A and B are shown apart, each in its own frame.
Chain A
Amino acid sequence: MKKLLAMALALAMTLSLAACGGGGGGAASSGGGAASSGAASSGAASSGAASSGAASSGAASTGGSSASSGDLIHVGFAQVGHESDWRTASTKSAQEVFSAENGYELSFVDADNDSAKQLEAVRNFIQQGMDYIIIDPIVETGWDAVLTECEEAGIPVIVIDRTITDSDKYDAWVGSDFKVEGLACGEWLKAYAAAKGITEINALVIEGSTGAGATIGRTDGFKEIADREGWTILDSQTGDFTEAGGQEVMESYCQSYKGQFNVVICQNDNEAKGAMTAMDTAGVSYGVDGDVIIVSFDANKPYVQMVCDGKLNANFECNPLAAPTVDEIIKTLESGGTPETEIYVTESWFAAEDNVPSITVNGQEQPVVHVTQDVVDARPY
């Protein structure tokens, strides 16, 4: 009897396991224009067929529809996965831009952070005879062979977000310049301190995951300005890009540097929220009317709202909407032109107060957006 119960339990759990395999295994869905709402984008990923054969079923549907709409441009997009709100926004942007109304037929593959699956997806795209292939590479290396195949098949490749280091057989790269984000943060802080009459900067940095591109770029950029201006960076520890990490590091900072710091730099939004909780507990006031200036990176919508509410002094965007730029590149290629090989997406800098109208980054003057409720409401993600 007990054995029976044990078997039944095991069976029940295995079944639920199989169900989750469906969600975990990257599902391919031919994007179309239909999947444009946020829920639909992740819904498509979780409800789609599970096996790797899904990619080929996607191919079948693509092939079928191409007969009826011959003049659509076929685009294959091998996405990293769906690990964050940022990634979801990136996927959604691609599905909106490469819609049938805009003259595209999108084959979307969520590789679920599995680089082997991503390579297979790209090979499938080649076999299906896509017009263009978009890759957000999970890993930097190991791409030369498959990119050579793309070149031989005459399919232009556009790389977005992350980079490929061991091959240059792609036509363009579109993404964020993390160092510029760090520089912008430094320049804004300089101007803000000047406007507020703050002469001494003692900063604490909560870094992202060690070794991540965003961490390195943002750290280098901010440090460059800090060194130039003679600011003190009291400490720099990793919060792993998570709220729990930010909270624990800030809790420790509040004890080690009690009353010694006036700036906290959080390298993403989640860490900023954690740092705020820790400072609330320690009784440190922050934000617009507080003792401590707190800034964040990424600028997801809820955190732009925090800038609006004056809880964050500034937020520096990391734009996930690469698709419109890719669209321009494809149009350039279609008309026989040659796009630039490295294109940075435009990113905005958000501040809670209007005392710094613009900053100069790398010799370029860039506006700083003073966040009002209208600005928040207009944010797409």
Chain B
Amino acid sequence: MSLKKITSHKMFLPVFCMILVLCANMIYDASQGSDFYEFFKVGITNGYLSGRLVNILNRGSETAILAVGMTLVVSASAGTDISVGSVMALCASVCCVILAGPAAPQATELAAPLIVGVLGGIAIGALCGAFNGALVAYLNIQPMVATLILWTAARATGLLVCNNLIVYVRNDTFGILGGFIGMFPTPILVAAIVIAAVALLLKLSAMGLYVQSVGINKKASRIAGLNSKRIIFLCYLLCGVCAAIAGVVASSRITSADSNNIGLNYELDAILAVALGGNSLGGGRFNLAGSIIGAYTIQAITTTMYNMKISTAVTPVFKAIVVIVIVAIQAPPVKAWFKKLSARNASASAKGVANA
């Protein structure tokens, strides 16, 4: 039964939900009298890749990068890192302040090489991740409480770094990270590199296995010879680095550091992406590809709202309904019900065959 094999695959539901969202656009476009594949058209406009699918991949990059780190954190510590949005803002601020140099808050020339600013931002992200990791892994503080500290503090520190102003770095070199390399949107490439790097790390170093085993049973893993604390610490560290990369990309898009708004509520999207990817927020086994699909699904919903010209006042309601449906489809009782239904159908058809 190949169909059963497909439906029981761990990637089936996340991909199914994604396709469901995309199909809604197909029906809408057809009902509007345009081609049913209007939403899926990818073309080159003004020398740049364009189209709704490109937009989803491009605008969803930050959430996808965050989802990578968040998946590991959820898996290893059975808790969420709610500071990622604020850390994004802090890292973006640090990066822009380094790049703007003394010309802040209005710079047009880079005061330092681009790489210095980017690495500076990432270093701060790593520091934040290490702080969260130290609290969770070594001081045994509950993840949500531990990361709550930076949730409030990181954004405020970002504002402090920027002297309460928006720091502009109106420079094309800086703009590349959030813009285009050739005809390709750079954020897509950045997300792809982050995903590939983490996937390779997990595969090649058995880290993925360690993270899962720590998430399933911390004590047993320790007795089996794993350094559970260090693994949890590393997951938070990686999550901080991911947040920093996402923050730098977000600030490069607008060639400025808007500490009040960069990454605002992104932690919720990242957690939702992990959940939509079919991961249990209780830790343990994880599905990185699922989380990434989940992240792009969230962006697909937003882009769908734009495509359907839904009034902005009601957009959150629609989003909520879609999310409820997606989460409900993946809920264990619903899954069990579907299984029972298909089993009954199977037995009914088997009976039918026997009768004939």
Give residues in A with beta carbon < 8 Å to B.
2-3, 5-7, 9-10, 13, 16-17, 19-21, 23-24, 39, 42-43, 45-46, 82-85, 88, 207, 210, 235-238, 240, 242-244, 247-249, 251-252, 255-256, 270, 273-274, 277, 281-283, 302
Contact = CB atoms under 8 A, between A and B. Distances in A.
B226 interface: no
Interface in B66-106: 106
Given A244-B258, A302-B106, A9 B130 contact: yes
B166 A244 contact: no
Interface residues of B, number: 50
Contacts of B135: 6, 10
A6 B236 CA distance: 13
Contacts of B50: 255, 281-282
Contacts of A16: 153, 157
B164 A252 contact: no
Contacts of B55: 251-252, 255
Contact of A17 (B52, B153, B306, B313): B153
Given A20-B153, A251-B55, A281 B48 contact: yes
B59 interface: yes
B131 A83 contact: no
B176 interface: no
B258 A82 contact: no
A201 B276 CA distance: 43
Contacts of A247: 253-254
Contacts of B157: 16-17, 20
Looking at chain A's contact residues, the main secondary structure is helix
Given A210-B312, A244-B254, A281-B180, A256 B134 contact: no
A376 to B, nearest CB: 14
B204 interface: no
**Listed residue (A17, A19, A84) with the most chain B CB atoms within 10 angstroms of its CB:** A17
8 contacts: A20-B160, A23-B164, A42-B164, A43-B163, A238-B312, A244-B253, A281-B180, A282-B46
B120 to A, nearest CB: 16
Contacts of B131: 9-10, 13
A10 B134 contact: yes
Interface string B281-311: 0000000000000000000000100110101
B46 to A, nearest CB: 3
A256 B258 CA distance: 28
Interface of B: 45-48, 50-52, 55, 59, 106, 127-128, 130-131, 134-135, 137-139, 149-150, 153, 156-157, 159-160, 163-166, 168, 179-180, 229-230, 250, 253-254, 256, 258, 260-262, 303, 306-307, 309, 311-313
A343 to B, nearest CB: 29
Given A251-B55, A256-B307, A281-B180, A237 B164 contact: no
A18 B307 CA distance: 46
Nearest to B159: A23
Given A244-B253, A244-B254, 12 more contacts: A2-B230, A6-B137, A6-B139, A10-B134, A10-B139, A13-B127, A13-B150, A42-B163, A84-B166, A237-B306, A252-B306, A281-B180
A17 B55 CA distance: 37
The 8 closest A-B pairs by CB, nearest first: A283-B46, A6-B138, A252-B306, A6-B134, A238-B312, A243-B254, A13-B131, A24-B156
A240 B261 contact: yes
Contacts of A24: 156, 159-160
Contacts of A270: 166, 258
Contacts of B127: 13
Nearest to A13: B131
Contacts of B166: 84-85, 270
A242 B253 CA distance: 12
A326 B148 CA distance: 41
A20 B86 CA distance: 14
Given A17-B153, A237-B306, A255-B50, A248 B260 contact: no
A2 B156 contact: no
Contacts of A20: 153, 156-157, 160
Most buried by A among B55, B128, B164, B311: B164
A273 B128 CA distance: 31
B306 A249 contact: yes
A88 B165 contact: yes
Contacts of A252: 55, 303, 306-307
Contacts of A23: 156, 159-160, 164
Given A85-B166, A88-B165, A282-B50, A248 B59 contact: yes
B151 to A, nearest CB: 12
Contacts of A85: 165-166
